[in-house]
Amino acid sequence: MNFDNQHVVVAGGAGFVGGHLVRSLLALGARVTVLDNFHTGPCDKFASVSSSELQVIEHDICDKIDLSFDLVMNLACPASPEHYQADPLQTWRSSVVGTMNLVELAASQDARMVHCSTSEVYGDPLVHPQPETYLGNVSCTGPRACYDEGKRAAETFLLDMFRERHVDVRIARLFNTYGPEMALNDGRVVSNFVVQALQGKALTVFGDGNQTRSFCYVADTVDGLLQLAYGRGLQGQVMNLGNPDERSVLEIARIISDLTGQPLETVQMAAAVDDPRRRCPDITRATERLGWAPRTSLRDGLSLTIDEFRSRITRG
């Protein structure tokens, strides 16, 4: 796989997954332009990248922009419930208006678009594990709806653009992704537990802790996104990208306390509203069509994550 002579725009490239993706694209020969409004953090991501092939532009995709490119990859939307619920109107606008702007731009120049959607399109699933054909069980009025329904509306628009205007769009539904360089204040369970354990604090378990998620190491997620962007004959495809290794929140707490060498101490907090009880991807489609499957075990991925968090926390 190489992206030589390709100009790739990464919207949301200064975010957690975006940062990893941008570095991989550069390593694979792409010229990369990052578009980011720096909503979830300042742009010190690329301080160590000395490449004339990288350009970073402060820009909110809700506003139109004129750019030419071969491929646009859209990761521009906060993905942590704490962050996307802090400004639900902006979350909706980024998901819907921002995606519409990018796909219109791709359509105007016959470029390809890879869009990051989410497992949240399945809501609190009644089918388990979740294949792409499952239609979901989503609240359209609750506090998660700005994200869940925003991402669902974006998928609708993108697939209409594929059917009506033949734009080469490809949609990845990302399940929970974790790894080095998540913001320390990201608010999601892995980063919260790692920071709390390294600071010797009790781990905050929301609800009874028996709810499950399936955690995919970021390098595996990025590999899946690149395969989806690169492969032939994938226009109009929707694909789950996640690790089917399903764990409860309490199991995650136990593993993180073990790997950090901290005695397990938890404090129970109120359950999040509309929190999905179970979530696990069926990745048959990605395996069959991309030859993709995650390779990093949860313990290995968490060890790498903890090491990187530890060095950041020690540096202050």
Residue number, 5 or 141, with CB nearest to ligand UDP: 141
For the bound state, the minimum distance from the C-beta of residue 267 to ligand UDP, rounded and expressed in Å, comes to: 10
Angle between helices 145-165 and 99-108 (to 10 degrees): 20
- C-alpha 41/C-alpha 132 separation (Å) is 32
Both structure tokens of 15: 């975010």
Distance CA 39, CA 94 (A): 11
Measured from the CB of residue 219, what is the shortest distance to ligand UDP in angstroms? Answer: 19
Q: Is 147 a catalytic residue?
A: yes
Tokens of 176: 């929970």
* Number of residues near ligand UDP (by CB under 6 A): 14
CA angle 58, 63, 64 (to 5 degrees): 100
Q: Give yes or no for a contact between 21 and 191, defined as CB atoms under 8 angstroms apart.
A: no
Least distance to ligand UDP, CB of residue 12, Å: 16
Does residue 151 touch ligand UDP according to CB under 6 A?
no
What is the contact mask toward ligand UDP in residues 81 to 100, using x (rule: CB under 6 A)?
x-------------------
Part in contact with ligand UDP (CB under 6 A); list of ranges 17-25, 55-63, 186-194, 240-248: 186-194
Q: Which of 9, 76, 116, 189 binds ligand UDP (CB under 6 A)?
A: 189
The one segment of 29-37, 70-78, 206-214, 295-303 that binds ligand UDP by CB under 6 A = 206-214
> Is position 78 an interface residue for ligand UDP (rule: CB under 6 A)?
no
Between residues 88 and 236, which has the closer beta carbon with respect to ligand UDP? 88
Task: Tell me the CA distances in angstroms from 167 to 11, 67, 112, 182, 280, one per residue in order.
Answer: 18, 17, 7, 32, 30
What kind and span of H or E run contains 173? strand 168-174
DSSP code per residue over 108-137:
HTT-EEEEEEEGGGGBS-SSSSB-TT---B
- Assess 65 for contact with ligand UDP (CB under 6 A): no
* Site residues for ligand UDP per CB under 6 A: 80-81, 176, 188-189, 192, 204-206, 211, 213, 249, 272, 275
Which sequence positions are flagged as catalytic? Answer: 147
